[in-house]
Structure formats: structure tokens, C-alpha cells
């Protein structure tokens, strides 16, 4: 057990939903690690060395071997540290967990961001429609307390983006994208999930993150003038 817990590093940025996913899994499994905060404007030598292909965070480093892409990292963590599993054992259930996590990445992350960070109303409308449809599909998948049933799992962790980041960025422009009225089941899930001790201790502080994203939106406005 000791060898597994040595030399575990996470290159990340506070405020990144993808880094947060990895931190939730590490916290759930009680894995100690060294967190290296990256300044994404001036990427470190280490980041460029460990993720030369995408040059992005998170990068998970175990015994000096780097792994990139949050969902790939989650699978690795689950395979190496077997306590509190996040993927089911049944192959079909595993395929479903992978499907919905990929769905979040492909259909929700980009469309929801574009719903906010655009000045083109037609663009916003299109992305709001896409996000709404995707959130509907995701909500329909929720059959218990969590996507994982009684305990949260891979899909819940991937969906932290929906639970924490979407409500935060939509507030910048007062967009009613993900609300309790529109998605009661999904909203309830998000409150349960964010309230779980593991998640609560891991998500970044709201105020500074909101200020950061608001700043980004304001830059967008300023650039258009």
C-alpha cells in the first residue's frame, strides 16, 4: 500500500472543473498527493514535459509517470487504488458510465460555455438549445440519489461541471440555463452532490472563481467595442 501512495503529484489549476474531477476521486480514495498549481498563462517546464501533446491540466503523475485527460486519469486511479470504486464491475454498467461521462464532455461542456461566453445572440440561442437538450438527456439518466445509485460514481464526478460550474457562469449574465424549475431532478442531484463531504471539501471557493469568469466575460465585451 505504501508504494502506491508515494510520489503522487497532480498538476492543476484551482478553478478547473477537469482538475476538480481528479481531486474528488483522490479525496474519495484517501490518496495523498502533492498539488502543483499551474499558471495557465505561463505554463511550467514540468507541464510541457509531462503533457507535450495537449499542454493542459490536469496531469496526474504517479512514480514519475504522467497521465493526461481527466477521464483517462480517473480510470487509472480506480484501477490502481481499489478502495471506494468509482466504476462498476459489470461490463455493461461500465460502458454506460463511460458513455455518460463522454456525453458530458462532448455535448455539455462546450455548448454550456458558449451559451455564456458569446456576444452573438443567435450563437447563444443555439448553444442554449443544445445544452438544454443535453441536460434533459442527462437528467433522464438519473435513477437514484446519484448517477452511481446510493453512492456517487464516475458519472457524478464527471458531472461536477454541471453541478458547480454551469450555475456559476450562468450567473454572470443572469442566464436561466440550469435551474431548479427547468431541471428539478438534476438540480436536486447537484445539491446532494455538492453537499457530500468529499465534494464540499474539494470544490474551489465560489467568489474568486466567479470574479475570474466575470472578468473573462468583461474582457470579451471590451474587445468587441
Partner 1 sequence: MADEVILLDYWASPFGMRVRIALAEKGIKHEYKEEDLRNKSPLLLQMNPVHKKIPVLIHNGKSICESLIAVQYIDEVWNEKSPLLPSDPYQRSQARFWADYVDKKIYEVGKNLWTKKGEEQEAAKKEFVEAHKLLEQELGDKTYFGGDKIGFVDVALIPFYTWFKGYETFGNINVEKECPKFIAWAKRCMQVESISKSVPDQDKVYGFMVEIRKKFGLE
Residue closer to partner 1 (CB basis): 44 or 63: 63
Question: If binding is defined by CB under 8 A, does position 91 make contact with partner 1?
Answer: yes
Is 92 one of the binding residues for partner 1 (CB under 8 A)?
yes
Nearer to partner 1, 73 or 209 (CB): 73
Closest of 36, 68, 71 to residue 53, by C-alpha: 68
**Closer residue to partner 1 (CB): 31 or 172:** 31
Parallel, antiparallel, or unpaired: how do β-strands 65-68 and 59-62 relate?
A: antiparallel
Q: Pick from 15, 88, 103, 185 the residue near partner 1 by CB under 8 A.
A: 103
Site for partner 1 in 55-84 (CB under 8 A): 62, 65, 67-69, 72-73, 75-76, 79-80
Grid coordinates given for 83: 478502495
Residue 35 within binding range of partner 1, rule CB under 8 A: no
Strand 34-37 vs strand 8-12: parallel, antiparallel, or unpaired? parallel
Nearer to partner 1, 16 or 68 (CB): 68
Give yes or no for residue 98 binding partner 1 (CB under 8 A): yes
64 torsion bin: left (phi>0), alpha (psi -120 to 50), beta (else): left
Structure-block grid coordinates of residue 16: 478547473
- Tell me the residue length of the chain: 225
Strand partners, 36: 11
By CB neighbour count within 10 A (0-12 exposed, 13-18 middle, 19+ buried), where does 189 fall? buried
- Residue numbers of the site for partner 1 (CB under 8 A)? 53, 62, 65, 67-69, 72-73, 75-76, 79-80, 91-92, 94-95, 98-99, 102-103, 137
Amino acid at each position: 500500500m505504501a508504494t502506491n501512495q508515494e510520489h503522487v503529484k497532480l498538476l492543476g489549476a484551482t478553478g478547473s472543473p477537469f482538475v476538480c474531477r481528479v481531486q474528488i476521486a483522490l479525496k474519495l480514495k484517501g490518496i495523498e498527493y502533492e498539488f502543483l498549481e499551474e499558471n495557465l498563462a505561463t505554463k511550467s517546464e514540468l507541464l510541457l514535459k509531462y503533457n507535450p501533446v495537449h499542454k493542459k491540466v490536469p496531469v496526474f503523475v504517479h512514480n514519475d509517470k504522467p497521465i493526461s485527460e481527466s477521464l483517462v486519469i480517473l480510470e487509472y486511479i480506480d484501477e490502481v487504488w481499489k478502495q471506494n470504486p468509482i466504476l462498476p464491475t459489470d461490463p455493461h454498467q461500465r460502458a454506460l458510465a463511460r458513455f455518460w461521462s463522454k456525453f458530458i464532455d462532448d455535448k455539455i461542456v462546450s455548448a454550456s460555455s458558449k451559451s455564456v461566453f458569446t456576444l452573438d445572440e443567435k450563437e447563444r440561442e443555439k448553444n442554449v438549445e443544445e445544452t438544454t437538450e443535453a441536460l434533459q438527456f442527462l437528467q433522464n439518466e438519473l435513477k437514484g440519489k446519484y448517477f452511481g445509485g446510493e453512492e456517487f460514481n464516475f458519472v457524478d464526478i464527471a458531472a461536477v461541471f454541471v453541478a458547480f460550474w454551469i450555475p456559476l457562469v450562468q450567473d454572470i449574465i443572469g442566464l436561466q440555463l440550469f435551474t431548479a424549475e427547468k431541471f428539478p431532478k438534476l438540480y436536486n442531484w447537484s445539491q446532494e452532490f455538492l453537499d457530500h463531504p468529499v465534494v464540499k471539501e474539494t470544490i474551489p471557493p465560489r467568489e474568486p472563481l466567479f470574479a475570474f469568469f466575470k472578468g473573462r466575460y468583461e474582457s470579451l465585451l471590451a474587445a468587441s467595442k
